Amino acid sequence: MTCEEAEILVHALIDGELDAGHARQVEDHLAGCSRCAAQLAAYREMSKSVARADLGYTAPAALRRRIEATLPEVRAPNRRAVLRGFALGSAVSAIAATGLVAVILRTDDHARVKSEMVSAHLRSLQAGHLTDVLSTDQHTVKPWFSGKLDVAPPVVDLTAQGFTLIGGRLDYVDAHAIGAIVYRRRLHVINLFVSQTAGTEHRPARIESFQGFNIRSWSEGGLNYWAVSDLAADELAEFGEKFEAAMRSSTTG
Amino acid sequence: MPGRCIHAGRASAKAEHGTMPVRATTDAEKGRRFRDAALSHLDDVYTLARYLLRDPSDAEDAVQECYLRALKHFDSYRGPAMKPWLFAILRNVCRAEFSRRASSPSGTIDEVTEKAEQAPLWREAQQTPESEMVRDSDASTIRRLVAALDQPFRETFVLREIHNLSYREIADVAEVPVGTVMSRLARARAMLRTAWMAEEEQPK
């Protein structure tokens, strides 16, 4: 290796960017060339001096505020969100035109919605985001939703069946506010997302797995239900069955 | 695999969540995620802008434009790491400013760059005794010396020494081959060292 080559490569050596083979070649050259070895030491020292001096700048607070002002805020859905809602498809527009309440979720959006449900579930597990209303009392949780959503989701107490009601939350899926009822089984959280649907037919439950989470979805009485949890599939199925049974007994009874 | 633990799947799903782009469900959610992911690098982006443009108010304008563009493209952001991504956007913003300045009588940036890159490296190296070390200087002095480097060398030096980017990341930001990053960095350090030594010899 020539001094000219070494002059460049000592820098890559200082920065830890050389593979073992090239590092060895440079080191061999440095062992026999005091001039290049001195350069290496001098540049290494200079890099340390630069690092010690802390050459960074702090952004002015006014600049930070100006940039933050350009970010979308937490507020009522703006024009863009509304437009995106309409972009859901002609089915939505057609029903909106007939004066019915907007359909929230179309079935052919199933795969995308499934992924959003899991995202919403994951978000809810982040600190302090699980519930907006914290209560084990269904008569507290259900009224809380009233006025916040077009339809208040049914809230049933399943504590006796081994699923503890811990509260409710407003969530956003597919740019729509929907209700989430939160249950707990041992250390596992179950988010039950409830949204309105156009059809009133009963759709039997199906269990799927997505990104390591289990999802049990079904439709009943004009509502779509999605239970998302890291519970094992059989326990989540049990949750869904208990919930459906409790709903049936409350409507017939 | 027999006896595969079902929890392994869950753990990896959770681990993925940190890096996987989750589609923004609302604008507010997007704003929140953008603030967490991008605004935390504001000081770094501003620092690079200060060194690239050498003017505080031009730097502010460029950084604001950079964040506007970043927000616009945030939905399609899939990597690289956030910091180099922001730097690449900032650099594109600065390019317009460079070409505006290049029309000044002092010659184009490209001409300056070409001359500097063609000059042999030993010219700087021979001006300073190779064993002599630079002494610690105050930050404002070093900032001034770094700011005096020609643009491509200054940029490479700042991305490496202040922002700790790898050669590969610098190459992506500056849109040049890794070999060019290496030679520019060697030259940048040689020039800085020469200037630093000269600074120390000056009577205070």
B122 to chain A: which residues are within 8 Å by CB?
A: 4, 7
Q: What is the 3-state secondary structure (H, E, C) of chain B?
A: CCCCCHHHHHHHHHHHHCCCCCCCCCHHHHHHHHHHHCHHHHHHHHHHHHHHHCCHHHHHHHHHHHHHHHHHCHHHCCCCCHHHHHHHHHHHHHHHHHHHHHCCCCCCHHHHHHHHHHCCCHHHHHHCCCCCCCCCCCHHHHHHHHHCCCHHHHHHHHHHHHCCCCHHHHHHHHCCCHHHHHHHHHHHHHHHHHHHHHHHHCCC
A71: Cα separation from own chain's centroid:
19
ipTM, two decimals, is 0.76
A80 to chain B: which residues are within 8 Å by CB?
A: 27
Whether residue A194 contacts residue A153, with contact meaning beta carbons closer than 8 Å, is answered with: yes
Q: What is the pLDDT of residues B50-90, one digit of tens each?
A: 999 999 999 999 999 999 999 988 888 877 789 999 999 99
d(CA A44, CA A26): 15
Q: Which of A190, A231, A227, A192 is nearest to B6 (CA)?
A: A231
Cβ neighbours of residue B19 closer than 8 Å, sequence gap 6 or more: none
Dihedral angle at the C-alpha atoms of B84, B88, B91, B92, nearest 10 degrees? -170
- With cut-offs at 50, 70 and 90, classify the pLDDT of residue B15: very low
- With cut-offs at 50, 70 and 90, classify the pLDDT of residue B109: very low
A67 to chain B: which residues are within 8 Å by CB?
A: 39, 42, 63-64, 67
Interface test with B, best of A3, A7, A11, A187 (most B CBs within 10 A): A11
Q: Which amino acid is at A156?
A: V
The SS3 assignment for A204 reads strand
Most confident option among A159-163, A189-193, B98-102, B106-110: A189-193
Q: What is the pLDDT of residues A172-195, one digit of tens each?
A: 777 777 888 999 888 888 999 988
B47–A71 C-beta distance less than 8 A: no
A211–B28 C-beta distance less than 8 A: no
Q: In Å, how far is A144's CA from the nearest CA of chain B?
A: 22
- Residues in chain A, total: 253
d(CA A109, CA A87): 12
Q: What is the pLDDT of residues A103-117, one digit of tens each?
A: 344 444 677 788 888
The SS3 assignment for A180 reads strand
B27–A81 C-beta distance less than 8 A: yes
Residue of A nearest to B124 (CA): A7
Which residue among B31, B121, B137 sits closest to A72, beta carbon to beta carbon? B31
B142 to chain A: which residues are within 8 Å by CB?
A: 49-50, 53, 55
Please tell me the predicted confidence (pLDDT) of residue A63.
93
Please tell me the predicted confidence (pLDDT) of residue B62.
94
B147 to chain A: which residues are within 8 Å by CB?
A: none
Residue of B nearest to A71 (CA): B31
Most confident option among A123-132, A214-223, B28-37: A214-223
Q: What is the pLDDT of residues A206-250, one digit of tens each?
A: 998 887 889 999 988 888 899 999 889 999 999 999 999 988 887
Whether residue A57 contacts residue B50, with contact meaning beta carbons closer than 8 Å, is answered with: yes
Q: In Å, how far is B105's CA from the nearest CA of chain A?
A: 30
Please tell me the predicted confidence (pLDDT) of residue A106.
44
Q: Which of A205, A208, A194 is nearest to A242 (CA)?
A: A205
B146 to chain A: which residues are within 8 Å by CB?
A: 55
User: What is the DSSP-derived secondary structure letter of residue A54?
Assistant: -
Q: What is the pLDDT of residues B129-166, one digit of tens each?
A: 555 667 777 888 999 999 999 999 999 999 999 999 99
Interface test with B, best of A57, A75, A125, A210 (most B CBs within 10 A): A57
Please tell me the predicted confidence (pLDDT) of residue A128.
65
Residue of B nearest to A214 (CA): B10
Q: What is the pLDDT of residues A14-58, one digit of tens each?
A: 999 988 888 999 999 999 999 999 999 999 999 999 988 889 999
User: Residue A185 is encoded by which pair of tokens?
Assistant: 């089984």
A72 to chain B: which residues are within 8 Å by CB?
A: 27-28, 30-31
Please tell me the predicted confidence (pLDDT) of residue A178.
84
Please tell me the predicted confidence (pLDDT) of residue B128.
52
Read off the pLDDT of each residue in B178-194 and give the average, rounded to a whole number. Answer: 93
Please tell me the predicted confidence (pLDDT) of residue B108.
43
Q: Which of B30, B28, B26, B95 is nearest to B65 (CA)?
A: B95
Residue of B nearest to A73 (CA): B28
Lowest-confidence region among A53-62, A142-151, B12-21:
B12-21
CA distances from B105 to A113, B100, B101 (A): 59, 11, 9
Interface test with A, best of B12, B27, B29, B45 (most A CBs within 10 A): B27
Q: Which of B125, B127, B117, B194 is nearest to B150 (CA)?
A: B117
A53 to chain B: which residues are within 8 Å by CB?
A: 136-139, 142
Strand pairing category for A133-134 and A203-210: unpaired
Please tell me the predicted confidence (pLDDT) of residue B132.
65
Which residue among A8, A43, A47 sits closest to B182, beta carbon to beta carbon? A8
